[in-house]
Copies of this chain bind each other. A is one copy, B any other.
Amino acid sequence: MKFSELAAWICGTPADLSDFWQATGLTGAQLSEKLDPEISKAVPFAEALEGSVTLLDSLKKLSALAGSEASAVILPKGAEEKIAADGMKKWNPKGIALLFSDAPYQDFAKIVSRFDPPIPRPASGIHPRAFVDETAKIGPNVTIMANVCVGPNVEIGSNVILHPNVCLMEGVKIGDDSVLFPNVTVYEKCVVGARCILHAGVVLGAYGFGYDSSSGRHILSPQLGNVVLADEVELGANTTIDRGTFGSTRIGEGTKIDNLVMVGHNCQIGKHNLLCSQVGIAGSSSTGDYVVCAGQVGLADHISVASHVIIGAQAGVPGNLTEPGTYLGAPATNIQEMKRQFVAVKQLPEYWKTLKALAKKEQEAAAR
């Protein structure tokens, strides 16, 4: 496909290409075969060779343009002025075809999808190899794929997709428009909101890790609660959320959780949290809204974290965090104090020298 055709499609002006040519910052006289190259694929910047269109999504990276082998590049709007001011020779000596966009990321996504269209939503219906208990209530336009197991008294809303091998145990409820990828397990009585995405291998509602050990053996706690996901929750692959002891372990609306995360029994996670991969939250802890935990963070049990707290990667949180702000390290500490500590520890060996020298001089002085 010619670049001009692609650009016109993106700009929404198929009949009149003048907008596009203006958008390139070039005059008509500069048009040439080179400036309207044949494009056969859309790939990330580092992989772009001749015949590719790619994306440079930040003005800060504009200097990388000169070294690219790409045939065409989508750039953010501000690039136009910069290139106009300094000249094509400086920023684009190879004369790569350019398209300036208000929404470069979204436009590039459209182009990528044009060359390699995403797989469409599977057709609705229940696969003959799925097993759906006769007492389950299935909403309209639901897709249930092969080897899915739907237990007694399950309720599934409209437009839900259950990929192969999903297992919903007795009494589970799934809200409208949610998607459960392969091998997801939802234990009895758990509730998934609307527009949720549960990636492959997610386990909702396994038993909480609570034991009465007073007898010298570990006797499992009651497991009478469940897990409740609010609307628009997303859970990454192989993430696990344990059921409450008596009540519900809850994940708030719009909260997104990455792969291999553990949320313990009875936890109450707020709205719009971001929990990155391998975070672990022990039982009965809670977070406010807009909390961010970077990768591998650990939260102790029975603690609460205030809204708008950001916790750095691998930090360990042994107690409540009551103030918004950024925390690092273990025990997690306010970022300013933590940075001072990091610097101090790094300088330790040098300071010992100073201290020893002082001590020696003092001894010598005392000996005199």
Contacts and interface: CB of A to CB of B under 8 A. Distances in A.
Interface string A194-238: 000101110100110101010011101011110000001010111
A277 B262 CA distance: 7
B272 A298 contact: no
A131 B131 contact: no
Interface string A59-71: 0000000000000
B171 A149 contact: no
Contacts of A246: 42-44, 55, 108-109, 112
A133 to B, nearest CB: 10
Interface stretch (A8-16, A20-28, A353-361): A353-361
A300 interface: yes
Contacts of A274: 211, 213, 218
A199 B366 CA distance: 70
Nearest to A255: B218
Main secondary structure of the interface of A (DSSP, over half): loop
A101 interface: no
B197 A207 contact: yes
A282 B341 CA distance: 25
B222 A109 contact: yes
Nearest to A284: B44
A254 B217 contact: yes
Given A149-B165, A358-B358, 19 more contacts: A42-B246, A119-B171, A147-B149, A165-B183, A197-B220, A201-B203, A203-B238, A206-B259, A216-B272, A218-B256, A242-B259, A260-B260, A296-B296, A313-B316, A344-B348, A345-B345, A355-B358, A358-B359, A358-B362
Contacts of A318: 313
